[in-house]
Structure 1
Amino acid sequence: MDAQLGLRERKKARTRRAISEAAIALFLERGYDAVPVAEIAEAAEVSKRTLFAYFPTKDDLVLHRFADHEDEAARVVRARFAGETPLEALHRHQRAALERRDPITGLCDVPAVVAFHRLVAETPTLRSALLHYHARSVDALTSALLETTDGVAHQELTARLGASQVLTVLQELANTNQRRINEGRSADELASLALAEADHAFDLLRNGLAPYA
């Protein structure tokens, strides 16, 4: 029975991947708005009903790639080492992600990844939908930070402001890296700069807005 369940899950994962890859290939070729869902279903050799069972909206065909990262910061905070602060854990995690060229950091020059990020950046509908993912990330990180802020004044507000600042900083770092990659620079060429800028960003987070006080 367990083996049967495993086979069923693997088959579902393959179908999901095939649908998404077919959709993104068509979007990159012709543009997001120019490709109807019926054509994506045909390309993936599934029915529209099956497609919507895996991806409830057209946006999800693209943005599901961000879903795995929705609660990533929250997971990092909860899994941090003993004696490590949330910011130290997030800083360590960001440096590791940059070093392995994780696409979420923007420091990735694999052509397919660059094309994917350009598709999202240049499609207003997708950019708008991505805000919902960001909002859920803020909620998740707020909950994780709340677990670490006993005795802090304005506890819930402090956690939410902290989560918003951290995630906005990470997004701005990624946007900066992506912009430079789009200008033709390589990830290896930019690695030292990206790491230094991440260090600087977390120094600012640790010290608040001291430079502007």
Structure 2
Amino acid sequence: MSDSGTGGLRERKKRRMYEVVSETAIGLFLEKGFDAVSVAEVAAAAEISKPTLFRYFPAKEDLVLYRIADHEGEAARVVGEGPTPIAALRRHFLAGLERGDPVTGLNAHPQVLAFHTLLYGTPSLVARASAHVERSEAALAEALGGDLDARLAAGQIIAVQRILAQENWRRVAGGEAVEVVRRDAVAAAERAFDRLEGGLAGLRVGQPG
């Protein structure tokens, strides 16, 4: 087997380990509560040692946040799809609403609702998630040029997406029908991105001011 093939297999095994351990932990947390489950219990359920678990997940909270880790660089990837960064982000967010992407908060699947309740209802997870937000902002700012204006724009964009998603989740978790919430969510997203477009006119990818 070639080195590249060996490396690819190694990476797939590593990714699979992350997924298995994270999903095992989330299952236990949903069943018993985040604070009621120890790291040792997660390791035992995943059939690995505690030191091995910590090599993959430095903090207990990371076991949960791994599920959304792929979204950290999402905005940074999307902005290059044009014709402008805001137009690309608007299109991406609206498409997410249409397909019920859990990251938009517009998904009523019981497992999705349970995960969001776990995430937003656990103070230590909320605190740890702030690092996820900061990394998302940093990646987006870098894609937009990396200067102060880019960082300010990234902060506004990430905040808008986060608040829109949390409002959708709040309403769906409260029992409102997804189709009812979707109509309002689309209108709210359009207004929010209109304001971003107006306030961030001239924003381009990789062009510091």
TM-score above 0.5, yes or no:
yes
Instruction: Show the counterpart of 2:55.
Output: 53
Distance in 2 between residues matched to 1:8 and 1:19, nearest whole Å: 17
**Are residue 115 (structure 1) and residue 117 (structure 2) matched?**
no
Deviations 1:190-209 (A, max 9, x none): 22221111111101112239
Equivalent position amino acid for 2:122 in 1: T
CA RMSD of aligned residues (A): 1.8
Change (3 A) 1:36 1:194: same
Q: What stretches of structure 1 of length at least 5 have no aligned partner?
A: 148-155
Distance 1:12 1:143, change over 3 A: closer
Amino acid at match of 1:61: L
Which residue of 2 is the match for residue 150 of structure 1?
none
Q: Which residue of 2 aligns with 1:151?
A: none
In the aligned structure 2, how far is the partner of 1:109 from the partner of 1:198?
19
- Are the structure 2 counterparts of residues 184 and 45 from structure 1 closer, same or farther at C-alpha, using a change threshold of 3 Å? same
Alpha-carbon distance in structure 2 between the residues aligned to 1:172 and 1:48: 36
Q: 2:26 is matched with which residue?
A: 24
Q: Using a 3 Å threshold, how does the CA distance of structure 1 residues 52 and 196 change in structure 2: closer, same or farther?
A: same
Q: Which residue number in structure 1 is paired with residue 191 of structure 2?
A: 200
Which one-letter code corresponds to 2:145 in the other structure?
Answer: L
What SS does the aligned partner of 2:71 have?
coil
Residue of structure 2 equivalent to 1:80: 81
Q: Answer yes or no: is 1:157 the counterpart of 2:148.
A: yes
Corresponding letter in the other structure for 2:17: T
The one-letter amino acid paired with 2:187 is: A
Displacement after TM superposition at 1:7 (Å): 4.4
1:190 aligns with 2:189: no
Residue ranges of structure 2 left out of the alignment (5+ in a row): 201-209
Greater than 6 Å deviation, 4+ residue runs: none
What is the deviation of 1:4? 4.9
Q: What does 1:173-184 correspond to in 2, within 5 Å? A: 173-184=164-175
3-state SS of 1:146 partner? coil
Q: Distance in 2 between matches of 1:138 and 1:9?
A: 26
Q: 2:16 aligns with which of 9, 14, 17?
A: 14
Aligned pair partner of 1:71 in 67, 73, 78: 73
- The answer to whether the Cα contact below 8 Å between 2:22 and 2:67 also exists between their aligned partners in 1 is no
Shift of 1:167: 0.5
CA apart distance, 1:159 = 1.2
Distance in structure 1 (CA, Å) of the matches to 2:107 and 2:155 = 24
Instruction: Give the Cα–Cα distance (whole angstroms) in 2 for the partners of residues 13 and 129 of structure 1.
Output: 21
Q: What is residue 167 of structure 1 aligned with on the other side?
A: 158
Q: Which moves more between the two structures, 187-196 or 62-71?
A: 187-196
Q: In the superposition, relative to structure 1, how do residues 196 and 159 fare at CA in structure 2: closer, same or farther (>3 Å)?
A: same
How far is 1:138 from its partner? 1.1
Return the alpha-carbon distance in structure 2 between the equivalents of residues 34 and 76 of structure 1: 38
